[in-house]
Amino acid sequence: MKAPRITEAATRLADQARDAGWTHEDYLAAVLEREVSARNSSGARLRIRAAGFPAPKTLEDFDFDAQPTIRQQVAALASGGFLTEARNVVLLGPPGTGKTHLATALGVAAARHGHRVLFATATDWVTRLTDAHRAGKLPQELTRLRRYGLIIVDEVGYLPFEQDAANLFFQLVSSRYEHASLVLTSNLPFSGWGGVFGDQAVAAAMIDRIVHHADVLTLKGASYRLRGRGIDSLPSIRTTAGENES
Ligand code: ADP
Ligand code: MG
């Protein structure tokens, strides 16, 4: 049996069980529980590593004071319920407002909840689908991707798609519709997506499928990096110029 922690846990827990007078059933449950929770957390680690996140980001290190209007929505998403319902999440907002951070953090949460996750930019997804299409394996690739509970598409709208690319992307969205979740980020409002997909009809059909069952979160304000700089540097300048120097 491939259960490396059982040997280790069995001896240690046996002492504890004798001292505390556990029943055999309690003891067995405790030993197996160690193995199960160790498997879950090492499984989550593997899923997080396999997801291809650009940087490690979690919900715990997101500063909601910078985006107070989405606090409730994100808290609801953190439980992972949207994944079992195959709902989507769309994060819209200007550069630096935390879209990639939140998309990654939702992906990490999904991995911890036991879902397989893949992260890539819209451009990378199109490359991947184009390769599969050229190899005559697009249906197989779409089927394979459906085994992932969550696919994250970052940066929709940074680069416009060619017509063929737009059609491939549309197939990805269609194949997941009501089966498995997508998280998408974009610096453009939906009204700007027609320009990205080169065709208003394709964009409209795509947006229709994406938002039919979706939470749309709109991030606002200045870039978090610039804001951080302002907070970190200005007060110390003022202190030095002002009253008590030490
Ligand atoms: P976007 O994808 O919207 O351009 P990012 O998610 O890449 O923005 O955010 C830029 C940087 O600022 C990242 O390092 C990110 O972790 C950080 N950041 C942005 N918003 C927040 C926030 N509210 N709390 C903590 N870090 C944030
Ligand atoms: Mg980003």
Give the domain CATH number at 137: 3.40.50.300
pLDDT number for residue 238: 43
pLDDT, mean of each 10-residue run, the chain (246 residues):
79 90 91 82 93 96 95 95 97 96 98 96 97 98 97 95 93 96 97 90 94 96 79 44 39
Residue nearest to atom 19 of ligand 1 (CA): 98
Residue 117 CA neighbour count, 13 Å, CB half: 29
pLDDT number for residue 243: 40
- How far away, in angstroms, is 165 Cα from ligand 1 center? 28
- How far away, in angstroms, is 93 Cα from ligand 2 center? 10
**In the structure, which protein residues have their CB atom closer than 6 angstroms to any atom of ligand 1?**
57, 62-63, 66-67, 93, 95-101, 224-225
Tally the domains of the chain: 2
Please give the number of the atom of ligand 1 that sits closest to the Cα of 61.
25
Strands 181-186 and 150-156: parallel
Q: Is residue 165 part of a domain?
A: yes
Please give the number of the atom of ligand 1 that sits closest to the Cα of 95.
4
212 Cβ contact partners less than 8 Å away, ≥ 6 residues apart: 177
Q: Are 15 and 127 found together in one domain?
A: no
3 state SS of 165: helix
Q: Are 134 and 167 found together in one domain?
A: yes
pLDDT number for residue 129: 97
Q: Are 40 and 84 found together in one domain?
A: no
Beta-carbon neighbour count of residue 180 at 10 Å? Answer: 20
Using the structure block, give the residue that is written with the tokens 């949460």.
109
pLDDT number for residue 166: 94
pTM over 0.85: no
Q: Are 30 and 68 found together in one domain?
A: no
Q: Is residue 12 part of a domain?
A: yes
Among 53, 65, 69, 101, which residue has the most ligand 1 atoms within 8 Å of its CB, making it the best to mutate? Answer: 101
pLDDT number for residue 186: 97
pLDDT number for residue 228: 62
Q: Are 57 and 170 found together in one domain?
A: yes
Q: How far is CA 246 from CA 189, 233, 239, 240, 241, in A?
A: 50, 18, 10, 9, 12
Q: 211: closest CA among 113, 127, 87, 103?
A: 87
Q: Are 149 and 132 found together in one domain?
A: yes
Q: What DSSP character marks residue 245?
A: -
Range of the domain at 103: 52-226
pLDDT number for residue 233: 43
Measured distance CA(144)–CA(150) in Å, rounded: 12
30 Cβ contact partners less than 8 Å away, ≥ 6 residues apart: 9, 13, 17, 22
